[in-house]
Structure 1
Amino acid sequence: MIIVNLIGGLGNQMFQYAVARSLAIRKKVPLYLDISPYRTYKKHQGFELKRIFNCAGEIATAAHIRSVLGWCALPGMGGLAQQQSAIRRFLCPQLIVEPHFHYWPKIWEIPDKAYLVGYWQSEKYFQEIAATLRQDFTFCQPLSEVNQDWLQRIKACNAVSIHIRRGDYASEKVTRNVHGLLPLTYYHRAIRYLTEQLEEPTFFIFSDEITWAKEHLRLPASHYFVEHNCGGESYNDLRLMSACKHHIIANSTFSWWGAWLNSFTNKIVIAPQQWFAVEGRNTEDLIPNTWLRM
Structure 2
Amino acid sequence: MNIIRLKGGIGNQLFQYAFGCAQKENEITVKYDISSFEGYRHAFRLKYFNVDIENENTDLFTKTKPFKPWFQGSKNIFKKVLKRFSIYFEDIFYIKRKVIYSRKSYDSRLLKVDNKFFDGYWANSKYFQNVLPSLRKDVCIRQEFYNYDYSELRKKIEQSTTPVVSIHIRKGDYLWEENTKIFEEISLDYYYKSLDFIYKRIGEFTLFIFSNDIDWCKTNFKYNKTIVFIDDNYTLEDYHEFELMRLCNHNIIANSTFSWWAAYLNNNSDKIVIAPRIWYANESRQKKHERNGFIPEDWIRL
Shorter-normalised TM-score: what interval? 0.7 to 0.9
Match of 2:197 in 1: 193
User: Deviation per CA, 1:89-138, whole angstroms, max 9, x where unpaired?
Assistant: 69962322112x242333235x2111111111121110001112122212
Superposition deviation, residue 229 in structure 1 = 8.2
Question: Pick from 45, 48, 56: which aligns with 1:48?
Answer: 45
The answer to whether the 8 Å contact 1:203/1:224 transfers is: yes
Match of 1:115 in 2: 117
The answer to whether the 8 Å contact 2:94/2:100 transfers is: no
Question: Pick from 137, 157, 162: which aligns with 1:135?
Answer: 137
| Residue 175 (structure 1) aligned with residue 179 (structure 2) | yes
User: Deviation per CA, 1:44-70, whole angstroms, max 9, x where unpaired?
Assistant: 3x11112x11111311133xx6xxxxx
Q: Which stretches in structure 1 are left out of the alignment for 5+ residues?
A: 66-72
Q: 1:39 to 1:237 in 2, by over 3 A?
A: same
Q: 1:6 to 1:90 in 2, by over 3 A?
A: same
Find the aligned partners of 2:198 and 2:129 in 1 and give their Cα distance. Answer: 26
Find the aligned partners of 2:240 and 2:119 in 1 and give their Cα distance. Answer: 27
RMSD in angstroms over aligned alpha carbons? Answer: 2.3
Superposition deviation, residue 143 in structure 1 = 2.2
The answer to whether the 8 Å contact 1:30/1:57 transfers is: no
The answer to whether the 8 Å contact 1:165/1:252 transfers is: yes
Larger radius of gyration: 2
Q: 1:74 to 1:198 in 2, by over 3 A?
A: closer
Q: Report the identity percentage.
A: 34
Size of the aligned set, in residue pairs, is 274
Find the aligned partners of 2:29 and 2:171 in 1 and give their Cα distance. Answer: 37
The answer to whether the 8 Å contact 1:20/1:116 transfers is: no
The answer to whether the 8 Å contact 2:111/2:127 transfers is: no
The answer to whether the 8 Å contact 2:206/2:225 transfers is: yes
The answer to whether the 8 Å contact 2:99/2:116 transfers is: yes
The answer to whether the 8 Å contact 2:15/2:123 transfers is: yes
Q: 1:127 to 1:56 in 2, by over 3 A?
A: same
| Residue 223 (structure 1) aligned with residue 227 (structure 2) | yes
Find the aligned partners of 1:139 and 1:150 in 2 and give their Cα distance. Answer: 14
Give, as a single letter, the amino acid of the residue that structure 2 aligns with 1:35: I
Find the aligned partners of 2:121 and 2:206 in 1 and give their Cα distance. Answer: 33
Match of 1:287 in 2: 295
The answer to whether the 8 Å contact 1:35/1:60 transfers is: yes
Please report the TM-score for the alignment, with normalisation by the length of structure 2.
0.84
Give, as a single letter, the amino acid of the residue that structure 1 aligns with 2:129: Q
Question: Pick from 241, 265, 269: which aligns with 1:265?
Answer: 269
Match of 1:68 in 2: none
The answer to whether the 8 Å contact 1:248/1:269 transfers is: yes
Q: Which stretches in structure 2 are left out of the alignment for 5+ residues?
A: 71-89
Match of 1:69 in 2: none
Q: 1:162 to 1:60 in 2, by over 3 A?
A: same
Superposition deviation, residue 276 in structure 1 = 1.3
